[in-house]
Structure 1
Amino acid sequence: MKLSQLLFSFLMGYFCYSLIEIVMRGYTHWTMSLTGGMVLTILYAINSRRTMTLIRSCIIGTFMITAIELTVGIFDNVIMHWNVWDYSDMPFNFLGQICIPFSAFWFVLCIPANRLCKRISRQFCNKKAVPIVSEQPM
């Protein structure tokens, strides 16, 4: 895996997740942009494995994203008091930083993320194809 692939996947995650947050909440926070980039980079590495199925990718992605969300949430919201998000009103939340409904959302979000990772991989891994000359007479 090349550094350029990882950098591109980071930038795609950075901008795509920021856009999702802006569309859904009306704003985002710079730490969420960085987190989105880090998450897509890790998902890209996970999805680069030939044996990775979509369902396995979504399950691994859900747990990985939830763990990162908890880590970032503790830093952003508990330690720094930036109040980036608060899931305290959500059912089955832990410290107001993670919750089951958003973990389910991460599972669903892993489906288009998986497709994006495969597309990035194809873009970087495709070699220049030699055009095939038509055998039909002109």
Structure 2
Amino acid sequence: MKAKKYLLFFLLGYCIYIAIEVTYRGYSFRLMGIAGGLSLAGIGMLEDAGLRRFPLAFQMMVSAVLITAIELYSGMFSLRVLHYRMWDYSALPFSFCDGLICLWFFGIWYLLSVVGIFLTDYVSYYIFHEGTHPVYRKKKKGCAEGEFVIK
């Protein structure tokens, strides 16, 4: 059952990433779809491993790190093995690794990761009938550190 779920996450991530990139840039690459699929499947695996117990902002941070790492490795593979540069962030401030990753896009992945978190949680619950109904925690004003209210 887990294999089917992660395959579904991969296919959803593939399609969603291609759609976002075609909307944003006007074109995309299959390798970027694979990176999107790996990202969503990875978010699903992290959620299943217990990440969903943490506050949403922390889940988004971990997911953004995962997506950025996948972006870096797929960019290195494309550049070094395929000898093709699919994107170049070197003109942007705070770009690293020969323009393969940058802080600006890390922020974008942070914000977009909430879609992946919600999607994987809801697919797990409603389609695969796993876990409990998804809830997300937000720190309540006036609470001591570590106390959260469930909304």
Q: Which moved more, 1:41-50 or 1:5-14?
A: 41-50
Give the AA of the match of 2:63. Answer: G
Higher helix share: 1
Give the AA of the match of 1:124. Answer: F
- Which protein shows a greater Rg? 1
- The superposition leaves residues 104-137 of structure 1 with CA deviations (integer Å, 9 ceiling, x where unpaired) of 00000111111111111112116xxxxxxxxxxx
Name segments (4+ residues, structure 1) moved above 6 Å.
none
Gaps of at least 5 residues in structure 1 are 127-138
Listed as ranges, the matches of 1:1-138 within 5 Å are 2-48=2-48, 49=50, 50-94=52-96, 95-122=98-125, 123-125=127-129
Q: Aligned-residue CA RMSD in angstroms?
A: 1.4
Gaps of at least 5 residues in structure 2 are 131-151
What is the match of residue 130 of structure 1? Answer: none
How many residues align? The count is 126
Greater RCO (CA < 8 Å, at least 6 residues apart): 1
Give the drift of 1:78. Answer: 4.1
- The superposition leaves residues 56-106 of structure 1 with CA deviations (integer Å, 9 ceiling, x where unpaired) of 211111111111111111111244221210111111101110000000000
Aligned sequence identity (%): 35
TM-score by length of 1: 0.85
Give the drift of 1:3. Answer: 0.9
